[in-house]
């Protein structure tokens, strides 16, 4: 990292969780979100054993032969399961497919869930491999931890925006949150044009909770430069997404970022995308507009946006699957 570049701040969340320093932590979060839109979160309450277990499970899955992984390949519509290496390509942002593979899952819903039965609201059943005993339980335990942390962060974001701390919780009653297990092989030594482990992009979420593992490669755009966000043991990296940027009238920054794994070894990460409910409306917050600062964006319906987003992604995926 260039020592003259602004560093991604490290925020200790313990005082917020205990209630001893909620406003102070919220102010720190506000400052981070109004600058780079990224911050490290430490002492966040998620046991390290839970994090270690999900990384072990990720390595276990991606170590399987390809034909085993392909048994749970992600399908059009449900957007859950395995995406093979090189299956996502974004013309204009890169000259080659993203150099990663992933496994996606969401909140575990029962087969009789009305939205699963209706089949028209993005909600669906997860796809689980049947040859990895205990694997599903490990992933669901991690998901539970992420949901608890999400609830706390939603309260922190609300206080940072001078709202009642429960303001965002109404948009997360049955959210479309998703976890991606990501595996980045070493970057190819010779890459003509622009090739990335993960192309430059901003997240189409409210915010993201990223566990990086112990291998770097994440970079954030700031001031026209790319700054490194190296792993800090025991931390998560939190970044603002497009939905929160719309909610805040761009007061909080949804910042482009990318991954290039030049470590010469395997890189693993686990990303939790905090997407609100299907029926939630993302409209400019009262604390983020005024006579001289009118709303920049029309209200957005999350479900409609996600249906369009999933279809667009799949059109891109299938051309290079």
Is a pLDDT exceeding 90 seen at residue 316?
no
∠ CA 176-82-257 to the nearest 5 degrees? 65
- Per-residue exposure over 228-254, b if at least 16 CB sit within 10 Å of its own CB, e if not: ebebeeebbbbbbbbbbbbbbbbbbbb
Q: CA torsion, points 114, 122, 87, 141, in degrees to nearest 10? A: -60
Is a pLDDT exceeding 80 seen at residue 158?
yes
Measured distance CA(104)–CA(95) in Å, rounded: 25
Domains and CATH numbers, the chain: 10-319 (2.60.120.330)
∠ CA 198-10-179 to the nearest 5 degrees? 40
pLDDT tens-place string over residues 59-78: 999 999 999 999 999 987 78
pLDDT tens-place string over residues 208-241: 999 999 999 999 998 889 999 999 999 999 999 9
Residue 292 · residue 310 · CB < 8 Å: no
pLDDT at res. 310: 59
Which range is least confidently modeled, 5-14, 241-250, 289-298? 5-14
Question: What's the mean per-residue pLDDT of the chain?
Answer: 90
pLDDT at res. 162: 97
pLDDT tens-place string over residues 179-193: 999 999 988 776 556
How crowded is residue 225: how many other Cβ atoms within 10 Å of its Cβ?
11
């Amino acid at each position: 990292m260039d020592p003259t570049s602004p560093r991604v701040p490290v925020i200790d969340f313990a005082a917020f969780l205990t209630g001893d320093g909620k406003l102070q932590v919220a102010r720190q979060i506000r400052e981070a979100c109004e600058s780079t839109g990224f911050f490290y979160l430490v002492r966040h309450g998620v046991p390290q054993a839970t994090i270690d277990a999900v990384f072990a499970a990720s390595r276990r899955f991606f170590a399987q032969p390809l034909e085993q992984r392909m048994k749970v390949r992600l399908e059009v519509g449900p957007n859950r399961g395995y995406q093979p290496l090189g299956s996502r390509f974004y013309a204009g942002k890169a000259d080659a497919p993203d150099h990663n593979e992933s496994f996606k899952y969401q909140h575990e819903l029962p087969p009789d869930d009305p939205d699963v039965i209706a089949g028209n609201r993005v909600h669906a059943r997860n796809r689980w491999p049947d040859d990895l005993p205990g694997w599903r339980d490990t992933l669901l335990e991690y998901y539970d931890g992420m949901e608890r942390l999400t609830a706390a962060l939603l309260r922190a974001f609300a206080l940072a925006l001078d709202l009642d701390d429960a303001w965002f919780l109404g948009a997360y009653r049955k959210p479309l949150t998703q976890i991606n297990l990501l595996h980045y092989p070493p970057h190819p030594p010779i890459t003509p044009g622009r090739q990335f482990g993960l192309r430059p992009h901003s997240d189409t979420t409210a915010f993201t909770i990223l566990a990086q593992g112990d291998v770097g490669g994440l970079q954030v755009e700031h001031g026209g430069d790319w700054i490194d966000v190296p792993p800090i043991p025991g931390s998560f990296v939190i970044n603002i997404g497009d939905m929160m940027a719309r909610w805040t009238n761009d007061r909080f920054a949804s910042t482009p970022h990318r991954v290039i794994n030049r470590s010469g070894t395997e890189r693993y990460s686990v990303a939790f995308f905090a997407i609100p409910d299907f029926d939630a409306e993302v409209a400019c917050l009262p604390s983020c507009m005024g006579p001289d600062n009118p709303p920049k964006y029309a209200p957005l319906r999350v479900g409609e946006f996600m249906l369009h987003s999933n279809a667009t992604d799949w059109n891109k995926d299938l051309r290079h699957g």
